[in-house]
Structure 1
Amino acid sequence: MLRNKVHHISISQINNEVTINKFGETQQYTILEKIRTTPEKGHAVLNYLYINPGYEEDFERVFLNRDHHLRNTEGFQSLLFLRPKDLYIHYVIITIWTDTAAYKNWKSSREYKASHQKRGTKEGADHNIINRSLSFNISVDLSSEF
């Protein structure tokens, strides 16, 4: 289990299932994609994406068929792409980095800009799929220490 005691966030995984507890709310997810083993600690970015009803399959297809720029990025440790167990709950994409600086370097990289250049625009694959107004992210340091 990864956790941040100060902000009351924890992530646990059993087989292909993940439980996220944040601020006293617990949600269950199924792993659709996993890149590398989840580390013992790191800077985690949890991207909560609200998918417009009826576009779930489109979203999964687009995300799973994306370019995989992260794999060779310095400081990248792992990724989990999670489908919610309940309807109308956010999908979650968790990336874990060695530290905050590694994540910031990724965000300012040429590869990030190339893979996100059309995001949220009419030309972007996600235009009708993701409701950006209802989506958000959480960025927090996590560890397996109790």
Structure 2
Amino acid sequence: MSIIKINAITVPADSGDELGKRFAARRDSMEGTEGFEGFELLQPTDERTTWLVITRWASEQAFENWRTSQDFQRSHAGGGAPSEEAPKKPVGMSAELWSYTTSVTG
């Protein structure tokens, strides 16, 4: 059973493309993170301005270990890699974290 974390990020109407570019630039940054199983960035196809970042984890502990790591702090402090000269301004206006587990029925 996987642990699913969904980060619902609301951005200004004209900032979604920038959010997508930042995630694309960091696509491989989670490789090798213990317990990380994958992620998707979902772009709204209607008038909504909330993008969904869906991550899968082997356990709640694996997610918490990453969330409290220096890698997490660096990646969320300015949206960029440590080699960048100036931190980027956050794109999101708000974010909400949702938690789920996978479930099989039938």
TM-score (norm 1): 0.61
Q: After superposition, where does 1:10-25 map in structure 2 within 5 Å?
A: none
Count of aligned residue pairs for this structure pair: 99
**Residue aligning to 2:54:** 94
The one-letter code matched in structure 2 to 1:53 is A
**What is the percent sequence identity of the aligned residues?**
21
Superposition CA RMSD, Å: 1.8
From 12, 19, 30, give the equivalent of 1:52: 12
**Residue aligning to 1:42:** 2
**Residue aligning to 1:108:** 68
Q: Which runs of 5+ in 1 are unaligned?
A: 1-40
Runs of 4+ in 1 over 4 A off after TM superposition: none
Q: How far has the Cα of 1:88 moved from its partner?
A: 2.0
Which of the pair has the greater relative contact order for Cα pairs under 8 Å at 6+ separation?
2
1:125 is the counterpart of 2:85: no
Q: Secondary structure at the match of 1:102?
A: helix
Q: How far has the Cα of 1:109 moved from its partner?
A: 1.4
Q: Secondary structure at the match of 2:102?
A: strand
Higher strand share: 1
TM-score (norm 2): 0.81
**Residue aligning to 2:100:** 140
The answer to whether the Cα contact below 8 Å between 2:2 and 2:102 also exists between their aligned partners in 1 is yes
Q: Secondary structure at the match of 1:84?
A: coil
Q: Deviations over 1:77-128 (max 9, x none)?
A: 1111111111224110000000100000111112112211235xxx65343x
The one-letter code matched in structure 2 to 1:54 is D
Q: 1:125 to 1:66 in 2, by over 3 A?
A: farther
1:72 is the counterpart of 2:35: no
Whole-Å Cα distance in 1 between the matches of residues 54 and 17 of structure 2? 19
The one-letter code matched in structure 1 to 2:56 is I
